[in-house]
A and B are shown apart, each in its own frame.
Chain A
Amino acid sequence: MKNDNKRNGLIINILSLIGFIIFWHVLVALAREQIFNIPFMRLKDVPTPIETWYALVGSMFTRTYGPGLTYGIINHIEASLVRVIQGSALAFIIGVPVGIGIGYSRLIHNILNPIIEIVRNMPPMAWIPLAIFILVSGGSIFIVFIGVVFPIIINTIYGVRSTDSRLIDAARMLGASQAQIVTKVIIPSAFPSIIAGLRIGFGVGWMAIVAAEMVIRSPVGLGYFIWNMGDLGRYAEMVAGMIVIGVIGYFMNISIVLLQKRVIKWVD
């Protein structure tokens, strides 16, 4: 029964994707035959799904495909992913201790909170001009860091604060010191929330990297790729790049959900 529902759901998912691709194709085909067009749009310039597919396959590994295209899509994926992972790792290393400090200590909260509350409301993209000026290199990694660190801090604070006070009492009764309460009770208890923060952060970081690569103009990266293809009028490659960005974002999210389930076996 449950399996049937799951299978039916999957079938509908697949049909929906196929339906969308057909709709996209028909819309562009009608525009090219001048039968139908949406006002103020140049639908006929939009690549069809098939053209996009060929562009994707054609530029996946090819290193010299045309002007400005010294890398294949696979290299762009790698470059963007590496930056997101580096920026996120940095954000994790800094964000978790900061979040624990703020969540645990009123004093640290009072010192850091006003700064964080203002800085976290500056979108990562707003940092791009500054990053270009002050950073000799690694500007895009810095932008990812800005995007990822705040979700991690906020979720860590939340996780620390929502530690069941009775668990802390239980630990004290069993002879735990203040430091042991932090390492043996508060941190494990906040862990699921910290991972949830990492998941949200990863999503933000992925959006931030694409924007950063467009502006910072690193010679390789998915953001750079779609911007450059747009400049060159290679719209099929551009759209292929957009789809790659979406699909990779989707799999990044799924892999963190799987990681969550593997690491946190104790939540039912």
Chain B
Amino acid sequence: MGRLILKGVSRKFNGFLAVSDVNLEIADGEFVCLLGPSGCGKTTILRLAAGLDAPTEGELFLDSKKIEGVNDECGFVFQEYVLFPWRTVKGNIEFGPEMKGIRKEEREQIALHYIDLVGLKGFENHYPHELSGGMKQRVGIARAYANSPKLLLMDEPFGALDAQTRNLMQGELLRIWQEEHISALFVTHSVDEAVYLADRVMVMSARPGMVKDIFEIDIPRPRVRTSPEANELRDAILKSLGTEIKRAASLK
């Protein structure tokens, strides 16, 4: 399960239209990347899917259940990690199960499973400020997974990492995603990242954000970033995105 549908979704903020008439569907287990110039409403779409924000028009559904109010069947991974600084790695990952009232031994087991899965064994009792950016985001991902979500929403999760760590984390994310197979909506600025990760890439237009182009990617994983197919796709996506980036710049 984990089918997300957006039907004619618009969101206005104080008169200005951030997102306009977005229709999209994420199939169960699918990995979709949302790509677009800054300020095109990518984050707004994630927040709407999370139920942290409500649409001005249109409806959202997760597994044909209308999303109203906070949708805690989604896991959210933030760009700036947003870990609880007073909790250890284990404490952060246990947060979701703890809120649900799951017994201590059981949630400890859940936490240890995901600590292992994201490769943080040995760091269970570290506090976030003792971790590097990449490790913090591993905690962020594990914390979202530990709540057994149906859909993972990721808002530029690797945006704050250096290029090498970023490539490494993309590989790690795919490994985890393939093990746990949960649908994912992943927002990014990076065409390279989208082509490496996604089953489908949606290019958004400049403000107001609309879905402009959709690219299906059927290159089998693990993908080679420099393969001819990948290069060709990157080229096509960059072209589609290029005109929007120029438009976005002229809007400022």
Contacts and interface: CB of A to CB of B under 8 A. Distances in A.
A37 B76 CA distance: 75
A2 to B, nearest CB: 21
B61 interface: no
Contacts of B129: 266-268
A180 B98 CA distance: 10
B36 interface: no
Given A166-B78, A169-B52, A188 B127 contact: no
A260 B133 CA distance: 26
Nearest to B80: A166
B90 to A, nearest CB: 13
Interface string B128-166: 111000000000000110010000000000000000000
Nearest to A191: B86
B84 A175 contact: no
A7 interface: no
A174 B101 CA distance: 12
A175 B99 contact: yes
Interface stretch (B67-75, B187-195, B204-212): B67-75
B156 to A, nearest CB: 13
Given A189-B86, A191-B86, A266-B86, A173 B99 contact: no
Interface size class of B (residues with CB under 8 A): 20 to 34
Interface in B70-95: 70, 72, 74-76, 78, 80, 82, 84-87, 95
B96 interface: yes
A130 to B, nearest CB: 41
Contacts of A191: 86
B72 A172 contact: yes
A185 B84 contact: yes
Contact of A173 (B52, B85, B100, B130): B52
B118 interface: no
Contacts, number: 64
Contact of B143 (A166, A167, A174, A185): A174
Given A169-B76, A173-B52, A173-B74, A266 B99 contact: no
A177 B76 CA distance: 17
Interface in B34-82: 50, 52, 70, 72, 74-76, 78, 80, 82
B99 A170 contact: no
Contact of B84 (A167, A173, A268): A167
A239 to B, nearest CB: 45
Contacts of B85: 266-267
Given A188-B84, A266-B86, A174 B127 contact: no
Given A267-B85, A267-B129, A173 B80 contact: no
B192 to A, nearest CB: 27
Interface residues of A, number: 23
A78 interface: no
Interface in A154-179: 164, 166-167, 169-177
A189 B128 CA distance: 14
A174 B78 contact: no
A127 B99 CA distance: 45
A173 B86 contact: no
A265 interface: yes
Nearest to A172: B70
Nearest to B69: A172
A184 interface: yes
Interface string B102-139: 00000000000000000000000001111000000000
Given A175-B99, A176-B99, A170 B86 contact: no
Nearest to A180: B99
Contact of B96 (A169, A175, A188, A189): A175
Given A174-B147, A266-B127, A184 B99 contact: yes
B95 A174 contact: yes
Nearest to A170: B82
Contacts of B84: 167, 170-171, 185, 188
A265 B143 CA distance: 21
Interface centre among A167, A174, A180, A188 (most CB of B within 10 A): A174
A177 B147 CA distance: 15
A166 B147 contact: no
Q: Which 10 A-B pairs have the closest CB atoms?
A: A174-B96, A268-B129, A175-B72, A173-B76, A266-B127, A188-B86, A175-B99, A166-B82, A172-B70, A266-B86
Interface of B: 50, 52, 70, 72, 74-76, 78, 80, 82, 84-87, 95-96, 98-100, 127-130, 143-144, 147
18 contacts: A169-B52, A169-B76, A170-B78, A170-B82, A170-B84, A171-B95, A171-B99, A172-B70, A173-B52, A173-B74, A174-B147, A175-B100, A176-B95, A189-B86, A191-B86, A266-B127, A266-B129, A267-B85
